[in-house]
Amino acid sequence: MPSGGTSTWSFRRPAATRSPWLRPTGCRSPRWSPASWQRASCAPPSSSRAATVRLDDAALLADPALAAADAALDSVLNVNASGDYAAARERPAPEITVQRHGSLASDGHHGPRVARAATLVGAATAAGLELDPHVIVALNGDRISRDGEVPLVAGDTVAFRSSRCR
């Protein structure tokens, strides 16, 4: 954390995206997305009336949902310079759960296992698998693509199943 105790977004998928602290306000779009900031209906107020609010760690943790999901505020880690990025990359990967199902669960790979992985390819490696076209992946119960760079956060559950019938 940089001096001053303030936090900004990181490049990881934050567990905190459901927090009202981290959503734009005044947006008429029914769905929030980073692109909605650039739409005309979501434009920020004119610069003469705009105010910047910096939230310190205590203010962020005052939100019970964010405090429960990310008490260490890892999802809003400051990454402003190459040194910050290098330090963030050296941190231990988040603790996740991996599970193999169906024919992938043979050879004693039954049941969930705790592993450390920052990306989907790391989770597959921890489960002893390769992400090939015959592997179906679910992240926290939702089927996702096999993009190996999908970021993971602490507490995620990654399940692997073969698309082949055996």
What pLDDT digit, counting tens, does each position of 87-105 carry? 888 888 999 999 998 888 8
Is the same domain home to 120 and 158? yes
Average confidence (pLDDT) over 115-122: 94
Judgement on whether residues 82 and 50 belong to the same structural domain of the protein: yes
Strands (E), 7-153: 95-101, 113-116, 135-139, 142-144
Q: Is 105 helix (H, G, I), strand (E, B) or coil?
A: helix
Residues 81 and 36 in one domain: yes
- Confirm whether 48 is domain-assigned: yes
The dihedral of CA 119, 150, 143, 9: what is its sign? positive
* 158/105 same-domain check: yes
Query: H-helix or E-strand containing 56?
Result: none
Please give the mean pLDDT across all residues of the chain. Answer: 76
30 and 85 part of one domain = yes
Q: Are residue 85 and residue 21 in the same domain, yes or no?
A: yes
Q: 161 pairs with which residues across the strands?
A: 101, 136
97, 76 in Cβ contact below 8 A?
no
Does some domain include residue 2?
no
* Total tally of structural domains belonging to the chain: 2
Q: Is there a domain that residue 107 lies in?
A: yes
Same domain, 85 and 36: yes
Question: Does residue 130 share a domain with residue 78?
Answer: no
Q: Which residue has the higher pLDDT, 122 or 1?
A: 122
29-65 confidence digits (pLDDT tens): 444 445 444 444 455 555 566 778 888 889 889 989 8
pTM score, whole prediction: 0.58
Would you state the pLDDT for residue 8? Answer: 46
Q: By the 8 A CB rule, do 106 and 161 touch?
A: no
Where would I find the beta strands (DSSP E) of the chain?
Answer: 95-101, 113-116, 135-139, 142-144, 157-162
Question: Residue 46: which domain range?
Answer: 15-90
Task: Judge if 119 and 65 occupy the same domain.
Answer: no
81 and 101 both lie in a single domain: no
